[in-house]
């Protein structure tokens, strides 16, 4: 396994920046909003095509944000930190609970190449035939397809917010020709948006996708810089299994030392070493039960 040398740093200036007019424009009509969301998604598509962007990590981080949004929609108080704990601090035999299940659903939807089987793994209580039927409810342009799928799911299953939002993002993924679901709608929609219909729902989806695409481009650039630094310092790590650990950090939002392929004490030392090198961050602020991420 090889990593980029420090003296061969990736030129991250090659990542295109979101045009200022997409961010600053004020549009009210559906046609104007649709134009801006199309521009934002096109720009995100270009950014995702750059190999410097750790796409699996980006999707995992957006899966966390989507899950946190869905938990908030349900009226629960847990936020991103609690969702991380719900999954990463599980002991063998423990159940993740409803909050953890929400997070797992989004992670599973985003981690594998999109297919009915992969979506079924994320939504195990829904028949694969029903998943396919709901996806087929979307017609037309990408955002219109996503909104139609979301509306179709919530019309037939009004409490299935998570399924509706996952399948709406899946419909968007299909329409854009992407390989993996990128959770974009849930993090930027409002709870009230889920009860809208027709043009009002499409307008809400366009607005949400502009906001999420702008944030995804910003986060992609940030993660690309952090990933480049992690790869650059990797040769300084002498622990056996450090290379595999680095690869894991490059694909996951957060890691507990116990999940690394090292003895417990060595794993904690490696995480502390990476923090000292500025390659990863400790995410909890705790002295115990710590989690780390790029």
Q: What is the pLDDT along the chain (294 residues), one digit of tens a residue?
A: 333 333 334 455 678 889 888 888 887 789 999 999 999 999 999 999 999 999 999 999 999 999 999 999 999 999 999 999 999 999 888 899 999 999 999 999 999 999 999 999 999 999 999 999 999 999 999 999 999 999 999 999 999 999 999 999 999 999 999 999 999 999 999 999 999 999 999 999 999 999 999 999 999 999 999 999 999 999 999 888 899 999 999 999 999 999 999 999 999 999 999 999 999 999 999 999 999 999
What are the DSSP calls for 120-185, one per residue?
A: HHHSTTS-HHHHHHHHHT--SSHHHHHHHHHHHHHHH-TT-HHHHHHHHHHHHHHHHT-SS----S
Q: Do residue 219 and residue 241 come from a single domain?
A: no
Q: Do residue 140 and residue 242 come from a single domain?
A: no
Euclidean distance between CA atoms 218 and 212, whole angstroms: 10
Q: Do residue 168 and residue 247 come from a single domain?
A: no
Q: Do residue 46 and residue 192 come from a single domain?
A: yes
Q: Do residue 205 and residue 245 come from a single domain?
A: no
Provide the domain count of the chain.
Answer: 2
The H-assigned helical ranges of 50-111 are 55-73, 80-88, 97-111
Q: Do residue 161 and residue 43 come from a single domain?
A: yes
Q: Give me the domain span that covers residue 268.
A: 237-293
In-domain check, residue 3: no
Q: For residues 114 and 170, is the Cβ–Cβ distance under 8 A?
A: yes
Euclidean distance between CA atoms 43 and 177, whole angstroms: 14
In-domain check, residue 12: no
Euclidean distance between CA atoms 134 and 76, whole angstroms: 27
Q: Do residue 120 and residue 156 come from a single domain?
A: yes
**Which one of 180, 201, 224 terminates a domain?**
224
């Amino acid at each position: 396994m090889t990593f980029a040398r420090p003296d061969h740093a990736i030129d991250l200036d090659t990542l295109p920046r979101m045009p200022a007019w997409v961010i600053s424009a004020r549009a009210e009509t559906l046609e104007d909003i649709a134009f801006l969301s199309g521009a934002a998604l096109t720009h995100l598509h270009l950014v995702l095509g750059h190999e410097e962007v750790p796409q699996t990590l980006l999707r995992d981080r957006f899966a966390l944000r989507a899950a946190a949004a869905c938990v908030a929609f349900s009226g629960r108080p847990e936020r991103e930190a609690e969702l991380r704990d719900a999954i990463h601090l599980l002991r063998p035999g423990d159940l993740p609970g409803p909050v953890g299940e929400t997070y797992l659903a989004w992670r599973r939807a985003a981690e594998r190449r999109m297919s009915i089987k992969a979506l079924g793994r994320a939504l195990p209580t829904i028949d694969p035939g029903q998943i396919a039927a709901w996806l087929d409810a979307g017609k037309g342009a990408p955002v219109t397809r996503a909104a139609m799928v979301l509306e179709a799911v919530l019309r037939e299953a009004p409490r299935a917010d998570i399924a509706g939002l996952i399948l709406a993002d899946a419909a968007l993924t299909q329409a854009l020709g992407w390989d993996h679901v990128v959770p974009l709608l849930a993090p930027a929609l409002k709870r009230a948006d889920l009860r809208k219909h027709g043009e009002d729902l499409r307008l809400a989806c366009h607005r949400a996708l502009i906001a999420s695409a702008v944030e995804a481009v910003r986060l992609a650039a940030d993660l690309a810089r952090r990933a480049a630094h992690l790869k650059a310092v990797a040769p300084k790590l002498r622990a056996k299994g450090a290379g595999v650990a680095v690869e894991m950090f490059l694909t996951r939002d957060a890691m507990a030392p116990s999940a690394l392929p090292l003895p417990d004490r060595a794993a904690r030392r490696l995480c502390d070493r990476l923090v000292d090198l500025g390659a990863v961050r400790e995410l909890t602020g705790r002295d115990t039960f710590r989690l780390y991420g790029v």
